[in-house]
Amino acid sequence: MGEEKVTIVDATGSFCPGPLMELIAELRDTEIGAVVELLSSDKGSAQDVPVWVRKVGHEMLGSEEKDGVWHIRVRKLK
Amino acid sequence: MKILIIGGGMGGTILANNLARRLHAELQDGKARITMLSASERHMYQPGLLYVALGRMMPDELYRDQRSLLEPQIDFHVDPVEEFALDRHQVRAKSGKTYPYDALVIATGSRIFPQGVPGLEEAAEFFYTEESALRMYKRLREFEGGRVVIAVGVPHKCPMAPLEITFMLHDYFKDRGILDKTQIHYTYPIGRTHSLENVAKWATPEFDRLGISYETLFNMKEIDVRGKVVHSEEGTDAPYDLLIAIPAHKGMEVIEKNGLGKSGWIPTHRHRLNMEGRDNVFVLGDTTNLPISKAGSTAHFEADALAENLAAMVKIGAPVRDYDGKVFCFIEAGKDRATYAMFNYQNPPNPKPPTKAVHWFKTAYNKLYWASARGLL
C-alpha cells in the first residue's frame, strides 16, 4: 500500500491573508478525504486552525513544530 | 532576449515600462525585445470599483487606453493567449498566431467566482466588476433600512476590501439619514475581524464604537435566496435584507485549462518569482500561488523586483535581487479617514490610527495610479 498523498500549503511568512485563510482556500478546492499539511511560522495558527477545523467538522490529524515552523495536518471530511 | 508578457493589468504594465526604461539601449540595437499580449485594449484601475459602488467615482474614470500607458518600444497586441507551450518556449494566441520567447511573464490576474457558493450570484451585491459595482450602487440608493450582512469568500482580491466596504457603508447610510434603521453585520472567515492581527486589533473596537455587529469563523456555504439567509460552513445563519459579498476568487480559466496551476494559481518561487520547475517562466500578481495579498501593490512591488532581474539577465546574464514579500495597502476607514498596512515576509504591519491625511493621499493615488502604471512612481 502506497503512502497517502499529502498536499503541502506553505504559508510561512504569511501575514495577509494568513495561514488559516490559505488552509480554507485549499480545502475548498480539495477532494473529500484528502489530507492537507499547512506550514506556518505564526504560532497563533497552532491554536486557531484546530478551533476552525473542529467547528467546521474536518479532522485534525496532528500538529508539531520543527525549527520554528508548525506543521498542521488536516483531513477534509465534508 | 525576447521577453513576452502575458497580461496588461497592473503587474504586466509596470513590468513592461520599467523594463523598457532599463533596456532602452538594448531595445534600440535589437538585443532585447518586449512584447505584451493582453485580452483588452483598455486598462482598468480596479481599486476604483469600491468608489463606483458608493457613487463616489464614475466608471469612465477607471479606464485608459492600454497602448497610451506603454513605452513606445513595447510591442503590444490585443490577442489573448489560449495555449502555453512551455516546452517549446512559445504561446499560441486567439488570432492563431504563435509568439516565441526566451523569458515569459504570466500576469493574467484573477476573477471572481461567486458560483462556488449556491445562491450567491443571485442574492448578493458585489463590486469586483463595473457592472456589479453599478448594480450595487443602484441597490444602495433604493435601500431604506434593514439588516445588511457583509460576507467574505476565500481567497479574495484586496484583503482590506471587507473592512473598507463596511466602514464606508456605515458612513453612506449615516449621510443618507437611515443609519438608525440599519443594522450592519460583518462576518469574517477566521477567528478575528481581519487576517492581519494588528488590523483586527484596530478594527474590532471601531466596530464596537460604530455599533457594527460582527461574527467570526463564518464561511459561506450556501444562500437561501427566498428566505434571505446566509448559511455558514460552521453551522450558523445570518439573515439579511441586503447581502454584500466579497466573492471568492480564482485565477484565469486559461491557466487552469493549460494545467499550469490548480484553480488558476501558478506555483511560484517566493523570492525569484519563477514558476516552480521553469527557469525562464515568471509569474506576477494575483496569478501566483504565494501566500500574500492578492492586491495591486503586491503586483507592483513584484514587478519592480522582476524588472530589475530581467534587465540584469539581459545585461550580465544573472538576476540580482530577491522579492521580499513587500505589500502596501491603504485601508479606508469611512468616507474621509484612512490608514495603511505595510509588511513583507519577515515583518508584520502595524497600522496607525486612521487620519484624514491618509484618506486624501489615497484619493490622490486614485489619480496618480496612471503615473504608477507608466512606471513613473
Q: Please judge whether A13 and B116 are an interchain contact, meaning their C-beta atoms are less than 8 angstroms apart.
A: no
Fill in the DSSP letter of residue B47.
G
Tell which wins on pLDDT, A3 or B283: B283
Best to test chain B binding among A16, A20, A31, A72 (most B CBs inside 10 Å): A16
Rounded percentage of chain B residues whose pLDDT exceeds 70: 100
| Rg value, chain B, Cα | 21
Per-residue pLDDT of B259-273, as tens digits, reads: 999 999 999 999 999
The span from the CA of B349 to the CA of B1, in Å, is 39
As given in the structure block, the three cell numbers for residue B85 are 507551450
The span from the CA of A38 to the CA of A10, in Å, is 6
| Domain interval for residue A44 | 40-69
Per-residue pLDDT of B251-260, as tens digits, reads: 999 999 999 9
| Assigned domain for A64 exists | yes
Residue B377 has pLDDT above 80, yes or no: no
Chain A residue numbers with beta carbons less than 8 Å from the beta carbon of B328 are: none
Instruction: Summarize the confidence of residues B290-316 as an average pLDDT.
Output: 96
Query: How close B200 gets to chain A, by Cα (Å)?
Result: 12
Find residue B268's DSSP bridge partners: B275
Identify the three-state secondary structure at position B357. helix
Spell out a b/e string for B147-184, using b for 16 or more CB atoms within 10 Å of the CB, else e.
Answer: bbbbbbbbbbbbbbbbbbbbbbbbbbbeeeeebeebeb
Instruction: Summarize the confidence of residues B285-299 as an average pLDDT.
Output: 95
State residue A1's pLDDT score.
46
Instruction: Summarize the confidence of residues B139-144 as an average pLDDT.
Output: 98
| Assigned domain for A53 exists | yes
The span from the CA of A32 to the CA of A76, in Å, is 5
Number of structural domains (chain A) is 1
State residue A47's pLDDT score.
85
Instruction: Please determine, looking at this structure, whether the domain spanning B113-248 carries the CATH number 3.50.50.60.
Output: yes
**Domain residue spans in chain B?**
2-109+252-327, 113-248
Q: List the CATH code of the domain at B2-109+252-327.
A: 3.50.50.60
| Assigned domain for A23 exists | no
As given in the structure block, the three cell numbers for residue B68 are 497610451
Residues of A involved in catalysis: 16
| CA dihedral (B299, B305, B306, B311) positive or negative | positive
| Assigned domain for A47 exists | yes
| Residue among A14, A15, A52 minimizing CB distance to B191 | A52
B309, B18 Cβ separation under 8 angstroms: no
**Is B263 in CB contact (< 8 Å) with chain A?**
yes
State residue A2's pLDDT score.
56
The residue type found at B116 is G
The span from the CA of B227 to the CA of A11, in Å, is 38
Residue B319 has pLDDT above 80, yes or no: yes
A17-31, B34-48, B232-246: least confidently modelled range = A17-31
Vertex B183 angle, CA B178 and B187, to 5° = 140
Interface confidence, given as ipTM, is 0.87
Per-residue pLDDT of A6-45, as tens digits, reads: 999 999 988 878 899 999 999 988 999 999 999 999 888 8
The residue type found at B65 is D
Per-residue pLDDT of B146-165, as tens digits, reads: 999 999 999 999 999 999 99
Domains B2-109+252-327 and B113-248 share a fold: yes
**Is B197 in CB contact (< 8 Å) with chain A?**
yes
Residue B10 has pLDDT above 70, yes or no: yes
